[in-house]
Structure 1
Amino acid sequence: MPSPSLPSSVLWSRLSEVRGFYFAAQNGPGSQTDWSGEAEGTVEVEQPADDKLIFYEHGIYQTPHGKALQMRNVYQWELAADGVHLSHLRHEQPVFLFSLSPVDAAGLRWQTDEPHVCGADLYQATLQLEADTLLLDWTITGPRKNERVAYSYSGTGPAA
């Protein structure tokens, strides 16, 4: 793989420092899913190869009805010549979500060039590098879905 660009190097360094997360998920008009709520927890980062980071997220998901549930997610970040790719690992197999490319030369803002098509659904995202956090905002739209997931990743413990 060629050497990563400056924006990719900046993002890769910040991703490797993540230790906590917070997310809020909400349904928009017309959504037929009942997936909304908030979660907070810790992230263990593993680097199995120079171009891969695995996020093991563990936390508590709070439903809008007040129920607290244990939750976990496993995501794979992959460094590519054109940016980074994010996949959800299901049974250790990557399920591609979207690719992000830098919007600015400093690598502080990222976005999907085109929505990723998964069945009838479209996945898009933006990523903003702030002083102490990474803000990942993604949307899923389709015939049955209109959802937004706003993630905040931090470098020390749960992100709030």
Structure 2
Amino acid sequence: MPRPVPSVESAAPIIEVWSRLPRLAHLVFTATPGPRSRTGWAGHGEARIESSHDPDGVRLHEHGLFTPQTTGTPVAFRNVYRWVNHSDRLSLWHERFGRDAAVWLFDLTATDTDELATVEAHLCGADRYDARLSLTTEGFELHWSITGPSKDETLVYRYHA
């Protein structure tokens, strides 16, 4: 059965995010543990982004430093996220260990004129990953919520040109 064609209104934020992805150059993020967190993952990070557009999506190659609140000592990190446009939704894949070991995280669909949210949470063992994306003036914010038996984390990624 063919998928329904998305309406102009529901496609607009998807089109807008898709057009911004190749222009993103910077990332600033915070990690905040909630009251049920046993990881205590808290801190902030900054990264440079290099994007690449391939037939299977747009990849954001992130290279930066994360400073844990507990130590104050920056730690280098790198990530690769692949975004795939399906017209009615965007899929997000984590390729930290390469294309062949990509992990599908979730699909995002429009919930408002400037917001997308996960269609279904990503389950990793007993942990649940949800996200909400909000368009900003120069890019977007991606709010992650990670909950589980020992996790209660909020991540806020701010992407901009």
**Which TM bucket (shorter chain)?**
0.7 to 0.9
Match of 1:84 in 2: 90
Q: State how far apart, in whole Å, the 2-side matches of 1:57 and 1:127 are.
A: 18
Report whether the alignment pairs 1:102 with 2:110.
yes
**Which 4+ residue blocks in structure 1 deviate beyond 4 angstroms?**
none
| Alignment counterpart, residue 124 of structure 1, candidates 130, 138, 148 | 130
What are the equivalent positions in structure 2 for 1:8-19 lying under 5 Å apart? Answer: 8-19=14-25
Q: State how far apart, in whole Å, the 2-side matches of 1:111 and 1:30 are.
A: 23
- The sequence identity of aligned pairs, in percent, is 37
Q: Deviations over 1:23-55 (max 9, x none)?
A: 001111121214221100210001111x50111
Structure 2, unpaired ranges of 5+: none
TM-score, scaled relative to structure 1: 0.86
Q: State how far apart, in whole Å, the 2-side matches of 1:6 and 1:140 are.
A: 28
TM-score, scaled relative to structure 2: 0.86
Q: State how far apart, in whole Å, the 1-side matches of 2:154 and 2:36 are.
A: 13
Of Structure 1 and Structure 2, the greater helix share is in: 2
Q: How far is 1:111 from its partner?
A: 0.7
Q: State how far apart, in whole Å, the 1-side matches of 2:62 and 2:141 are.
A: 16
In structure 2, relative to structure 1, the CA distance for the partners of 1:102 and 1:85 (3 Å cut) is same
2:51, 2:60 within 8 Å by CA — same for their partners in 1? yes
Q: State how far apart, in whole Å, the 2-side matches of 1:63 and 1:20 are.
A: 19
The aligned amino acid for 1:100 is L
Aligned residues: 151
Structure 1, unpaired ranges of 5+: 156-160
What are the equivalent positions in structure 2 for 1:1-160 lying under 5 Å apart? Answer: 5-49=11-55, 52-64=57-69, 65-92=71-98, 93-104=101-112, 106=113, 108-155=114-161
